[in-house]
Amino acid sequence: MKSIAAKVITVFSCKGGVGKTTTTLNLAGIYSLMDKKVLIMDLDLNSGGVAVSLNVNNEKTIYNVVDDMSNNRFKEIDDYVCKYNDKIDVLSAPKDPRNALKIDSKYISLVISSAIYKYDVILIDTSHQISPVLLMALDKSDNTLFLVTNDPVDLKNARSMISIFKDTEVNNYKVVFNSSKDIGKDYFSLFDIKNIIKHNIDYTIDKSFYIKDIDKYVIDGEILTLNKKIRSSKKGDIMKLTKLANALLESNPKKVEVKKDEEK
């Protein structure tokens, strides 16, 4: 067992379809290339897509973990995770969405604690819906990636959430603008977005990282950042994502600088 606790990183947004799962998987790929042992924890309990995206055989899920914990049957987290490769394990969301309602948020802390000395990084994918489970994950995270897109509804919701963060003195999050998700939606500039959400953009996933045939990779169960062809053709984007991944591992992570030309 490791003597150093894993960094817990939650990927969160205020709207579905902004690229949370893809970003989570891409970070997992980068950390695995850095020789980090990674657990991807899918807390999108009603419609989690991590196991499907990676084509892993998830016989057990987080529901089984919580059920066994509540009935004193739990021994170790290894009994519930499935392997993607030598460096990446997956704890998937319930197969039956009805079981999502049976997961008490107090067990999320226990699940994280059971894995924290077995991994270097725990990446938590989430739902955009505010729930006790999500709030517990945010509370237990060292860092949170808050994804926003160039979508008016998304930005309005993000502004409200950031206001809540400020009121509750939460500051361990980075706002990530994902411009690779909805090509053609150029309603607002980065300057506009910063004014709308009342917060700086800490990091930008550029349009150049848009993958036209991304469904092919999902069908094949591939992580984009582990694909040699993509790593070659999207070298600049991979380097930027690697910079963010490294920053998230720092005890007091530094803000990822945005180029001046991106702020215009």
How does pLDDT run across 19-61, given as a tens digit for each residue? 999 999 999 999 999 999 999 999 999 988 999 999 998 899 9
Q: What is the mean pLDDT of the chain?
A: 90
E strands, 95-159, are 121-126, 143-148
E strands, 55-180, are 82-83, 88-91, 121-126, 143-148, 173-178
Domains delineated in the chain:
7-257 (3.40.50.300)
pTM reported for the whole predicted model: 0.91
Distance of CA 102 to the CA centre of its chain: 23
Whose CA is closest to 103, among 129, 71, 66, 144?
A: 66
Q: How confident is the model at residue 119 (pLDDT cuts 50, 70, 90)?
A: very high
Residues of the chain with pLDDT > 70, as a percent, come to 94
Residue 93 in contact with residue 43, Cβ under 8 Å? yes
